[in-house]
């Protein structure tokens, strides 16, 4: 197996669908016979909770970052070749504060992941809304960034700022790039969306957009049941949206 593609889901702007997209793209990649690791790098632990997992001290992302024995990713869904998870909890914010004082720690995540990257096809990384120590660590460890965003003006600003940060980090992590933009909360009837799409294509070229994810109440409901959309509403249109987006990612 060649080294995993390490994809950070990030946007300078919060509440744009990073977590739901990380979780559901990670799961959807199982349908394409991929072996996937999901890393929850947000101390809010939203992707951990969305998968119905309770983080346990000693086997969570903090233990993994500290290099504790036995802190390997846990199989969290058995479909296909398996979805593995390194869960998060509030303890990650303590780690972040401690490690944040030591700039050398920024490369710790990259180092730890290098021992796993031959075991997976994809490592998907969900990040916090603020651009802090953990997110910078993720940018330094990743091979690419996917930017989820609703098609509105303020998110466009978030995308532009994400690009600036990506270009800065690429000096230290050559090859890092925004590989795709994933439109979320999508409603094609909105005229405003079209002008935002034109603007994104102007910035990044015609092939930057993944198939969009529609605005969906069922999608928003799924995390409270600890389920992906494929478990909560497998026949929904939004589940198909995530399949199409994952197919496009897998085909890259």
Ligand X SMILES: Nc1ncnc2c1ncn2[C@@H]1O[C@H](COP(=O)(O)OP(=O)(O)OP(=O)(O)O)[C@@H](O)[C@H]1O
Judged by the rule CB under 6 A, the positions of this chain that interact with ligand X are: 14-20, 42, 46, 129, 184-185, 213, 215-216, 219-220
Residue closer to Mg ion, measured from CB, 145 or 197: 145
Distance CA 228, CA 45 (A): 15
- The answer to whether the CB of 99 falls within 8 A of the CB of 128 is no
To the nearest 10 degrees (0 to 180), the angle between helices 133-141 and 91-99 is: 80
Smallest separation, CB 226 to ligand X (Å): 13
Question: Residues with Cβ < 8 Å from 166, sequence gap 6 or more?
Answer: 139, 145, 176, 177, 178
What is the number of other CB atoms lying within 10 angstroms of the CB of residue 38? 27
Nearer to ligand X, 116 or 229 (CB): 229
d(CA 53, CA 3): 27
Smallest gap from residue 58 Cβ to ligand X (A): 25
CB of 171 vs Mg ion, minimal distance in Å: 27
- Binding residue (CB under 5 A) for Mg ion from 19, 21, 48, 89: 19
Kindly state whether residue 46 participates in binding Mg ion, applying the rule CB under 5 A: yes
Please tell me the distance from the alpha carbon of residue 63 to that of residue 107, in angstroms, as a whole number: 16
- In this complex, which beta carbon is closest to ligand X, that of residue 32 or of residue 131? 131
Residues 189-218, one symbol each (x = binds Mg ion by CB under 5 A, - = not), give: ------------------------------
Q: Quick one: what does residue 67 bind among Mg ion, ligand X, none, with the CB cut-off 5 to 8 Å set by partner type?
A: none
The piece of 10-18, 115-123, 158-166, 204-212 that touches Mg ion (CB under 5 A) is 10-18
Asked if 98 and 133 touch (Cβ cutoff 8 Å), the reply is no
């Amino acid at each position: 197996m060649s080294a995993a593609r390490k994809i950070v889901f990030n946007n300078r702007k919060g509440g744009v669908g990073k977590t739901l997209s990380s979780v559901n793209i990670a799961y959807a990649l199982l349908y394409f016979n991929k072996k996937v690791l999901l890393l929850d790098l947000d101390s809010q632990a939203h992707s951990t909770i969305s998968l119905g997992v309770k983080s346990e001290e000693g086997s969570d992302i903090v233990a993994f970052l500290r290099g504790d024995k036995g802190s390997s990713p846990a199989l969290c869904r058995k479909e296909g070749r398996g979805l593995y998870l390194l869960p998060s909890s509030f303890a990650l914010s303590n780690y972040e504060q401690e490690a944040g004082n030591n700039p050398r720690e920024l490369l710790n995540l990259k180092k730890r992941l290098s021992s796993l990257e031959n075991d997976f096809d994809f490592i998907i990384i969900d990040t916090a809304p603020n651009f802090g120590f953990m997110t910078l660590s993720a940018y330094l460890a990743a091979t690419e960034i996917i930017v989820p965003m609703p098609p509105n003006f303020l998110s466009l600003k978030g995308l532009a700022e994400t690009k600036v940060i990506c270009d800065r980090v690429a000096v230290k992590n050559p090859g890092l790039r925004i590989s795709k933009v994933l439109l979320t909360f999508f409603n094609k009837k909105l005229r405003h969306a079209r002008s935002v799409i034109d603007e994104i294509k102007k910035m990044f070229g015609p092939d930057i957009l993944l198939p969009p994810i529609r605005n969906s109440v069922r999608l928003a409901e799924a995390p409270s049941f600890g389920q992906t959309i494929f478990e909560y509403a497998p026949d929904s249109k939004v589940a198909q949206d995530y399949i199409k987006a994952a197919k496009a990612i897998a085909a890259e």
